[in-house]
Amino acid sequence: MATDLLAVDRLNVFYGDSHVLHDVSWRLQTGRLLALLGRNGAGKSTTIHTIVGFLPARSGAVRLDGLDIHNTAPELISRAGVGLVPQGRRIFGSLTVRENLDVAARRAAPGGGRVWTREDVNHLFPRLGERQHQVASSLSGGELQMLAIGRALMTSPRLLLLDEPSEGLAPQIVREVQQVLQDLKQQVSIVLVEQNLGLAMTLADDVVLLDTGRVVFAGTREAFSERSEELQVHLGVH
Ligand SMILES: Nc1ncnc2c1ncn2[C@@H]1O[C@H](COP(=O)(O)OP(=O)(O)OP(=O)(O)O)[C@@H](O)[C@H]1O
Ligand SMILES: [Mg+2]
């Protein structure tokens, strides 16, 4: 049996005394896109932050290619080929587009996926290419999101984690993000946190649904669609 690229295994995570993730388990195989769904406060970002090493797990494991990486330093997890596009984008506003990309550049992890250069990112996002010397604070919301994705690609990840990339974007820009992710999913394995169900369902191979820190569904998109009426209650969609 093939080893999972990423396995989240019975994770329990706390903020102080507050128990936020309860025995969260799911897995992702190479080449697939997994949509991590759930309403506000369900624990999606907490899961992502635990995977990248920002938060410690009280118990459980996070395995990358079978190796337990939980409670490892974020820098080492990044070097192992895990790229993050954080919620809220977190771009350096006073740096130019080019500087934002260059600070993220790094040699690809051994055994990693494709190597990305600044030229590759500019090819994927021509609008960024035209704005190389512009400070990031002058970019539109959509351009900032493209830059956030570009910055993560500059680490040449084999696993890309995106935390609500469509948040706060106009429908036209969401369609652009969708097209970009459609292309990227041919090249890198992806975990996509989303509240935009339409976007998630268009792209996903697999779905994990969280409700108050517990997995209430994990399976293929087809299996999710078959049960979507019953599962809507966990999404806050009325
Ligand atoms: N730093 C923190 N300290 C204490 N509690 C926190 C902290 N960050 C998040 N929480 C709580 O943990 C729970 C899960 O939050 P999390 O940010 O993971 O949700 P989310 O699914 O990403 O939501 P959203 O869609 O709004 O981003 C929530 O109840 C939240 O209030
Ligand atoms: Mg979040």
The model's pLDDT over 52-107, given as tens digits with 9 standing for 90+, comes to 999 999 999 999 999 999 889 999 999 999 999 999 888 999 999 999 999 988 76
pLDDT at 83: 94
pLDDT at 99: 95
Confidence of residue 230 (pLDDT cuts 50, 70, 90): very high
Q: Evaluate whether 114 touches 187 at the Cβ level (below 8 Å).
A: yes
Whether 111 shows a pLDDT value over 60: the answer reads: no
Structural Rg of the chain based on CA atoms: 17
Q: Compute the residue count for the chain.
A: 238
Residues 149-207: pLDDT tens digits? 999 999 999 999 999 999 999 999 999 999 999 999 999 999 999 999 999 999 999 99
Q: Which of 24, 45, 192 to mutate to test the pocket of ligand 1 (most atoms within 8 A of CB)?
A: 45
Rounded CA separation 223/236 (Å): 20
CATH of domain 30-57+68-234: 3.40.50.300
Highest mean pLDDT out of 105-109, 212-216, 226-230: 212-216
The chain-wide mean pLDDT, for the chain, equals: 93
Residues 96-107: pLDDT tens digits? 999 999 998 876
Half-sphere exposure of 36 (CA within 13 A, CB side): 28
**In this structure, which residue's CA is closest to atom 17 in ligand 1?**
45
Rounded CA separation 36/19 (Å): 19
Measured in Å, residue 145 CA sits from the centre of ligand 2 at 16
- Residues with Cβ within 6 A of ligand 1? 15, 18, 20, 38, 40-46, 87, 195
pLDDT at 15: 97
Q: Which residues surround ligand 2, an ion (CB under 5 A)?
A: 45, 87
Measured in Å, residue 98 CA sits from the centre of ligand 1 at 32
Measured in Å, residue 119 CA sits from the centre of ligand 2 at 31
pTM above 0.85, yes or no: yes
Half-sphere exposure of 33 (CA within 13 A, CB side): 21
The DSSP code sequence of the chain is -PPPSEEEEEEEEEETTEEEEEEEEEEE-TT-EEEEE-STTSSHHHHHHHHTTSS--SEEEEEETTEE-TT--HHHHHHTTEEEE-TT----TTSBHHHHHHHH--PPPTT-S----HHHHHHH-HHHHHTTTSBGGGS-HHHHHHHHHHHHHTT--SEEEEE-TTTT--HHHHHHHHHHHHHHTTTSEEEEEES-HHHHHHH-SEEEEEETTEEEEEEEHHHHHHTHHHHGGGTT--
Give the max Cα distance, the chain. Answer: 50
Rounded CA separation 53/13 (Å): 12
Mean pLDDT, range 107-132, rounded to an integer:
84
Domain boundaries, the chain: 30-57+68-234
pLDDT at 238: 47
**In this structure, which residue's CA is closest to atom 11 in ligand 1?**
41
Q: Evaluate whether 39 touches 55 at the Cβ level (below 8 Å).
A: no
Q: Which atom of ligand 1 is nearest to the CA of 49?
A: 18
pLDDT at 151: 95
Whether 112 shows a pLDDT value over 70: the answer reads: no
Residue bearing the bigger pLDDT, 38 or 111: 38
Measured in Å, residue 43 CA sits from the centre of ligand 1 at 6
